[in-house]
Structure 1
Amino acid sequence: MKKHNFYAGPSILSEYTIKNTAAAVENFANTGLSLLEISHRSKEFIAVNDEAQELIKELLDIPSGYEVLFLGGGASLQFCMAPFNFLNKKASYLDTGVWASKAIKEAKFFGEVDVVASSKNKNYTYIPKDYTISAGSEYFHITTNNTIYGTELHEDPNVSIPLISDMSSDIFSRPVDVSKYELIYAGAQKNLAPAGVTLAIIRTDALGKVERPIPTMLNYQTHIDSKSMFNTPPVVAIYAALQTLKWYKEQGGIKALQKKNEVKAAILYDEIDRNKLFVGTAVPEDRSLMNVCFVLKEEYKELEADFANFAAAKGMVGIKGHRSVGGFRASLYNALPKSSVEALVETMKEFEQQH
């Protein structure tokens, strides 16, 4: 039976990425060595690292004055690393979910943090719109896509100060005006590569302005100077990222991916809105294209386990909602084919007919 992978992360990768990475595990770049054992200082891997960084610049149309880094520690380390490098006295943050609130918690170790707005009052089912960034803020931090609650900022905010953003779960899903940001970071395990590497895009002239000393490994400048090779990088994950980037280019680039994502999301949201059993949890204007969250209507709540089992029997994998909110979540990352979304819709229709 075909499996349809809706896991939120680590998540689906393209067949192109999986096959090419598997081949390199057997024999990397005709070296006769496995990718698992190659030196990160070898000319063959340095070429991979360089090509991946250049492809990211090309696909995201990154202007000059920015550097692309591959780092460790996931987005969770960036919650601390970003304010360590950029927060001198005060920053503004938008609270749109669990990961945003974790970033806020870490930033408070480094300076004053103004939470300009929060959607916690309605269980993070919407993106706050009416807020004022406090005077004296050095940057405004946003989380563009909220995997747990299924909400997303669909455009880059228009603000008068630099932006810092966690784009872990929607990077490469839509065009981004990188020039508005001094830092974009993303754990790779949702739309780029297997877990183990973190992408950071940094405006270099924004560095070196905080008064505190920064430990070597937590200083972005360290990694810029060493081209992401200060310590041993996650070789396999970076190689897989390169394959994904090549595949994105083959697909026609970011605008083409965005159109496909909009089509996939519309198919599923239309069924959620039509089906008598289900209801979406995010307000319609803020619905995520990447993580579609839905629940059974109150009068059908007792069918939750039945639907989960029914969907599993049809090959649906990873649709259980986050443990903190329950219900269901279908992650529609770039690599997920439209046919998987259509299969989920057919499963929902069949289940409705039975009840």
Structure 2
Amino acid sequence: MNKIMRLKDCAFYVSQKINSEILDKNTYVSTENILQNRLGKTIASFTPKNNTKVTHFKPKDILIANIRPYLKKIWFANHEGGCSADVLVLRAKSHTDSSFLYYSLFRDDFFSYIMKGAKGTRMPRGDKEQILNFNIPNMNYQNQKKIGELLFLLDKKIELNNRINAELEAMAKTLYDYWFVQFDFPNEEGKPYKSSGGKMVYNSTLKREIPEGWENGKIEEVLDKVPNTIKILNKDILRVGKYPVVDQGQEYICGFTNTKESVLEVKDAHVIFGDHTTIVKLVNFDYSRGADGTQILISKEERVPNYLLYQMVNNLDLTNYGYARHFKFLKEAKIILPMANISNKYNQIVIPLYEKWRNNFFENINLSKLRDWLLPMLMNGQVTVK
């Protein structure tokens, strides 16, 4: 028996169509909401106009963004929906396990192969016929199923950690909204301050009522200098993900960056602000700084500890300001300065939440490394699943 087979021997392109008017932002997929570097998909920012026909995908189909294949956008569908014409939908044939097929295409080799046949320079597109000639390991169905299940279990754990982290983030955000937007932090009797009749005072700068004793300020007034960095001599430390690289993308990039070779030690949380993107992140682990324009915000104000600063910055709307000047406007943004005892109580509650978040984050790094280490050995038969 041949050790390899062609992709066209075990899968086919889905061509069935579905009407876009029955789709929503969760069930519509385009190249925009499939995430780079094989991180799945997120909710779409738009849906097509009504009565548009789009490709109908089903659970266990494999969706691949066919524009700029080097971005490695691939998703193993876990629900039914529709996708744009620039997304290829592959479905396993009856003798092929869908999970096994997905991980066969999950490899870097697959995306390198697509790029060899891609057409165009600025926005290269994969050649659909050439893609179908990609080599897939030829194994019996039971071995395929074992390999697919093992790798899928690792990804399910990663997905679970991501869901837990999203919930932890939501808890911290809800508490912030309740205490610092609605002003229902606990009063001396433990009751919600504003709802229980706590005194509110009109602030002419903020043009709103705030709790008595609270003040107004600006972001720039609470910022401290960024601490000194530590020079990294061994570049392999960054490659294996001990110090994740933080840039302005949607995800943390865990690997080596050629532009910076220094690590920031984090004794408290740091707030990362993308000057070009307005993306805001909280970092509570040692990390290497990424792209230029990635601003690091640290508070020197007791009334605004870093975990609270993160929520304040994340709550600001800078969408109407000019490109690449966001940090200038961020520093000028007006904020509320609460009483220090309320800020400290908030900190005490959310720090354990973000410690759990950090543990899950690094566990996912290790699980991803394990999966990527096992993948080629499972596919070439060097390792088997018993």
Superposition TM-score, scaled by structure 2 size = 0.25
Structure whose alpha-carbon radius of gyration is higher = 2
More helix by share: 1
Superposition TM-score, scaled by structure 1 size = 0.26
Task: Specify which structure has the bigger relative contact order, considering alpha-carbon pairs within 8 angstroms and separated by 6 or more residues.
Answer: 1
